[in-house]
Amino acid sequence: MKPGSDCDKPPGSRGSVVPGRIDLPCVPVRTLIANPYDAFAGAKIRWSRPDVVGGPGWIDKDHFDIAARAPGAATTQEMLGPMMQSLLEDRFQLKVHVEKKDTPVFELTVAKSSPNLHPSQGPCTPVDLSIITAGPPAKAPDGAPRMCGAMRGHGTATGLAMDFFAITMEEFATRTLETDSGRPVIDKTGLTGRYDFQLEFSPRLSGSSGTTFLDGEPSAAAPAPDDAAGPSIFNALQNQLGLKLSAAKAPLDTIVIDSVEKPSAN
């Protein structure tokens, strides 16, 4: 660990996190704290990040290069959370606690009596983080079942088209809608199956890693207006799928920093 030295590269080209190994150049400490308590906290994929509050100003301004290797059998994705927590506690003398905080969210609900969602046909293979190993995954053989919750996208004349395969509404809310709406999204559709569908919308802003974000958000009463290129994700959901995002507040986990110290380089 040392002060950040790779900060001139685009964020998408910096670092990697794979089972058993963490290489993260030029990362602020507040970002480091969020990951092990959410994204890598157990075997379930979690795409959102909790708020991290408190702490001195340097945890946002100072950047660090993190290079860590897990000992022995610590080779699965689900071990990354404890591994990163131990690193932060040892090197930064970090102490935190988690408490609930009322947070702006969107609730995903059914807007029409018959949403335009097609029950997924055929089997799919669940994602199992416990069997992921370091390195790129092997190519799936011909005829292999699709991965549950798979998605792919391509650009269109008016924005972006996303195809979803065997995805649940909870996965759709937390993986796609949280990214594109800019808030945590809570699934309240009551739909429990897996579905295939397509959604076309116009991202308002594209991040450097290719992730899309919206620059606006609707009120609780009305969706955001469409721009000239195509529909916002809010209107696309309602008009194409019969679903709706409504603004609300919900008690979500928030990480509170009790104490943290600058580490020495090694």
In the predicted structure, residue 143 carries a pLDDT above the cut 80: no
Give 216-247 pLDDT, tens digit per residue. Answer: 344 443 445 555 567 889 999 999 999 999 99
Q: Cα separation of 145 and 141, whole Å?
A: 9
Band of residue 205 on the pLDDT scale cut at 50, 70, 90: very low
Q: Residue 206, Cα to own-chain centre: how many angstroms?
A: 15
In the predicted structure, residue 61 carries a pLDDT above the cut 70: yes
Which ranges of the chain would DSSP assign to H, the alpha helix?
29-34, 58-61, 80-91, 169-171, 178-181, 233-236
| Range among 62-71, 108-117, 196-205, 221-230 rated most confident | 108-117
Q: Considering only residues 43 and 22, tell me which one the structure prediction assigns the higher pLDDT.
A: 22
Count of CB atoms situated within 10 Å of the CB of 79: 18
Q: Cα separation of 174 and 186, whole Å?
A: 7
- Work out the average pLDDT over 100-114: 90
Q: Residue 12: beta bridge partners?
A: none
Q: Considering only residues 144 and 160, tell me which one the structure prediction assigns the higher pLDDT.
A: 160
Contact assessment for residue 62 and residue 3, using Cβ atoms and an 8 Å cutoff:
yes
Contact assessment for residue 55 and residue 62, using Cβ atoms and an 8 Å cutoff:
no
Contact assessment for residue 126 and residue 166, using Cβ atoms and an 8 Å cutoff:
no
pLDDT, position 78: 59
In the predicted structure, residue 215 carries a pLDDT above the cut 50: no
Band of residue 13 on the pLDDT scale cut at 50, 70, 90: very low
Q: Considering only residues 26 and 19, tell me which one the structure prediction assigns the higher pLDDT.
A: 26
Q: Cα separation of 144 and 130, whole Å?
A: 20
Contact assessment for residue 26 and residue 10, using Cβ atoms and an 8 Å cutoff:
no
* Residues whose CB falls within 8 Å of the CB of residue 112, separated by 6 or more in sequence, listed in order: 242
Give 181-192 pLDDT, tens digit per residue. Answer: 888 899 999 999
Q: Cα separation of 61 and 96, whole Å?
A: 20
Q: Cα separation of 27 and 132, whole Å?
A: 24
Band of residue 81 on the pLDDT scale cut at 50, 70, 90: confident
Count of CB atoms situated within 10 Å of the CB of 214: 20
The residue among 51, 127, 38, 49 whose CA lies nearest residue 80 is 38
- Work out the average pLDDT over 101-130: 85
pLDDT, position 219: 42
In the predicted structure, residue 77 carries a pLDDT above the cut 50: yes
What percent of the chain has a predicted confidence (pLDDT) above 70? 66
